[in-house]
Amino acid sequence: MTKTRIEKDSMGEMQVPETAMYGASTARAVDNFPVSDLRFSREFIRALGEIKLAAATSNLALGKLAEAQADLIRQAAAEVIAGDWDDQFVVDIFQTGSGTSTNMNANEVIAHRCAQISSSTYVHPNDHVNMGQSSNDVIPTAIHLASADLLVHTLLPALNYLHQALLVKADETMDAVKIGRTHLMDATPITIGQEISGWARQVELAIKRLETALPRITELAQGGTAVGTGLNTHPEFGSSCAAELSKAYGIEFREADNHFEAQAAQDAAVELSGQLKTVAVSLVKIANDVRLLNAGPRCGLGEITVPSVQPGSSIMPGKVNPVIAESMAQVCAQVIGNDAAITFGGASGLLDLNVMLPMMAHNLLESERLLASASRMFTDKCINGLVANRERCAEQIEWSMSMVTSLAPVIGYDRASQIAKQAVSEGKTVRQICLDESVMDEDELDRLLDPTSMLKPHA
């Protein structure tokens, strides 16, 4: 049996594990919400620590908190920020919709740690650690802090890394001419580099889309307290905290323009999630293109080869699969699913508070982490080692009936269509049909059927 101690909160006594850093409110929440094994992430716990440190600093500067208590809170909060007490954040994600239980978890851990550091200065979890705050502004602020941190310092660098790799690979393969495909059917020629340049532009635009969400996600609810009125806090508390948090993260945060919006709604989180979903849509398109172009190696398109990273089958010897692209596609599916949950959560705000904050926080931060990790994996293990199979591409160009498109301006659409159908039915190339039937001079035919002449507009 685990040894316990007795702790008290406003509802009475609770048994708490003897070694636990938290108190009665957290223990009560652990009992109330035995739903999953999901807990708040490192980024979110850090955000809570940063808020408590900034609050103590601000309350001290504003004359609301004694120096001895502020110093203890800041020391304990710094340990939370560093990750020293992550294992003490034990409340399930699926808890009270405001995240009150996790806010109290932070308050209790910090207060308990203050008591360990000093027996002469009393720090109360509500009166001192939570001074000037409410769960209703702390948790929305933590969501914005953690998501902005991941966006600026993790996801955007990962996408920039992928973007640069795609630009390099596009340049390397810009002369690798292949047959284009629309509706998965043969179309006019294109180069592998041109296709990859399209992927690069998708990622470039993904970066720009995410950056457009920053002005809203960097607004902080801190200072609104219970319902946005700022009851029980100093008028300058919100702006002071925003300044402290800006220094801590190296990101320019600011107090929300309207605290009622910042707490009653989570539109900024929904907006960011929507942009993450768009990024996922772009990345799954790229991953699927890679899988199609790599299909084979002998009986598929086989126009590119991606690095072999592991055996592909437990029964078929020698089989190698595009598993990195498959992993990326699964990540994108998860992000799209997370967005559906976040969208529903954002639509479920009621009057003066959104009450799906923990779920939204978990899914939003997970989406950012997954996309960042998968983008780096995809770059390192797939894109950087992608190779154009130039001979295979050349063979398919010559064999494609769509090469007849360049003849249409000279011989007309109907005659060109007839040649294309004849090439398919007789199992010949367009060139062979044209030579057999003396459609035009051989030199002119060579000029028109040169695939490199079909890669850009002509005057």
Check which CATH number belongs to the domain holding 59 and give it.
1.10.275.10
Query: Given 131, 161, 192, which residue is the final one in a domain?
Result: 131
Strands 304-305 and 387-388: antiparallel
| Residues belonging to the chain | 459
Instruction: Give the whole-angstrom CA distance, residue 219 versus residue 74.
Output: 23
Phi/psi region, residue 142 (left: phi>0; alpha: psi -120 to 50; beta: rest), is alpha
Give residue 454's pLDDT: 87
Q: In whole angstroms, what separates CA 11 from the centre of its chain?
A: 40
Question: Is there a single domain that holds both residue 183 and residue 245?
Answer: yes
Check which CATH number belongs to the domain holding 430 and give it.
1.10.40.30
Q: Does a structural domain hold residue 321?
A: yes
Question: Is there a single domain that holds both residue 418 and residue 379?
Answer: no
User: Bridge-partner residues for 219, per DSSP?
Assistant: 254
Three-class SS of residue 167? Answer: helix
Give residue 402's pLDDT: 84
Q: Which residues contact 401 (CB under 8 A, 6 or more apart)?
A: 186, 420, 421, 423, 424, 430
Does the annotation mark 153 as catalytic?
no
- Tell me whether residue 319 is annotated as binding: yes
Q: Does a structural domain hold residue 71?
A: yes
- Tell me whether residue 59 is annotated as binding: no
Angle between helix axes 42-61 and 135-150 (nearest 10 degrees) is: 120
Asked if residue 314 lies in contact with residue 321, where contact means CB atoms within 8 angstroms, the answer is: no
Instruction: Give the whole-angstrom CA distance, residue 139 versus residue 83.
Output: 18
Report how far apart, in Å, the C-alpha atoms of 445 and of each of 418, 425, 441, 442, 448 are.
17, 21, 6, 5, 5
Q: What is the DSSP letter of 403?
A: G
Peptide bond preceding 34 in cis form (omega within 30 of 0): no
- Tell me whether residue 314 is annotated as binding: yes
Question: Is there a single domain that holds both residue 89 and residue 227?
Answer: no
Question: Is there a single domain that holds both residue 198 and residue 231?
Answer: yes
Does the annotation mark 259 as catalytic?
no
Q: Does a structural domain hold residue 459?
A: no
Alpha helices in 156-266 (DSSP H): 156-172, 192-217, 237-249, 259-264
Instruction: Give the whole-angstrom CA distance, residue 455 versus residue 88.
Output: 61
- Tell me whether residue 186 is annotated as binding: no
- Tell me whether residue 126 is annotated as binding: yes
Q: Does a structural domain hold residue 178?
A: yes
Report how far apart, in Å, the C-alpha atoms of 42 and of each of 10, 25, 37, 151 are.
29, 21, 15, 15
Question: Is there a single domain that holds both residue 385 and residue 404?
Answer: no
Give residue 155's pLDDT: 98
| Range list of β-strands (E), 246-319 | 254-255, 304-305
Instruction: Give the whole-angstrom CA distance, residue 20 versus residue 142.
Output: 23
Give residue 366's pLDDT: 98
Give the range of the structural domain holding residue 425, as residue numbers without chain letter. 400-453
Q: Which residues contact 247 (CB under 8 A, 6 or more apart)?
A: none
Q: Does a structural domain hold residue 333?
A: yes
Three-class SS of residue 182? Answer: strand
Question: Is there a single domain that holds both residue 126 and residue 141?
Answer: no
- Tell me whether residue 134 is annotated as binding: yes
Q: Which of these is catalytic: 183, 425, 438, 458?
A: 183
Q: What is the DSSP letter of 151?
A: I
Give residue 248's pLDDT: 98
Question: Is there a single domain that holds both residue 103 and residue 155?
Answer: no
Check which CATH number belongs to the domain holding 321 and give it.
1.20.200.10
User: Bridge-partner residues for 304, per DSSP?
Assistant: 388
Question: Is there a single domain that holds both residue 58 and residue 192?
Answer: no
Question: Is there a single domain that holds both residue 312 and residue 421?
Answer: no
Question: Is there a single domain that holds both residue 52 and residue 198?
Answer: no
- Tell me whether residue 375 is annotated as binding: no
- Tell me whether residue 294 is annotated as binding: no
Query: Using alpha carbons only, what angle is made at residue 159 by residues 48 and 362, rounded to the nearest 5 degrees?
Result: 30
Question: Is there a single domain that holds both residue 16 and residue 154?
Answer: no
Query: Given 96, 131, 166, which residue is the final one in a domain?
Result: 131
Asked if residue 439 lies in contact with residue 411, where contact means CB atoms within 8 angstroms, the answer is: yes
Question: Is there a single domain that holds both residue 102 and residue 193?
Answer: no
Angle between helix axes 267-294 and 192-217 (nearest 10 degrees) is: 170
Q: Which of these is catalytic: 308, 313, 417, 453?
A: 313
Asked if residue 342 lies in contact with residue 273, where contact means CB atoms within 8 angstroms, the answer is: yes
User: Bridge-partner residues for 177, per DSSP?
Assistant: 191
- Tell me whether residue 125 is annotated as binding: yes
Angle between helix axes 135-150 and 357-378 (nearest 10 degrees) is: 10
Q: What is the pLDDT along the chain (459 residues), one digit of tens a residue?
A: 689 999 999 899 999 999 999 999 999 999 999 999 999 999 999 999 999 999 999 999 999 999 999 999 999 999 999 999 999 999 999 999 999 999 999 999 999 999 999 999 999 999 999 999 999 999 999 999 999 999 999 999 999 999 999 999 999 999 999 999 999 999 999 999 999 999 999 999 999 999 999 999 999 999 999 999 999 999 999 999 999 999 999 999 999 999 999 999 999 999 999 999 999 999 999 999 999 999 998 899 999 999 999 999 889 999 999 999 999 999 999 999 999 999 999 999 999 999 999 999 999 999 999 999 999 999 999 999 999 999 999 999 888 888 889 999 999 999 999 999 999 999 999 999 999 999 999 999 999 999 998 889 976
Query: Given 363, 390, 417, which residue is the final one in a domain?
Result: 390
- Tell me whether residue 135 is annotated as binding: yes
- Tell me whether residue 453 is annotated as binding: no
Give residue 2's pLDDT: 83
Asked if residue 34 lies in contact with residue 75, where contact means CB atoms within 8 angstroms, the answer is: no
Of 205, 198, 244, the residue nearest 77 (C-alpha): 244
Q: Looking at the 3D structure of the chain, how many domains does it have?
A: 3
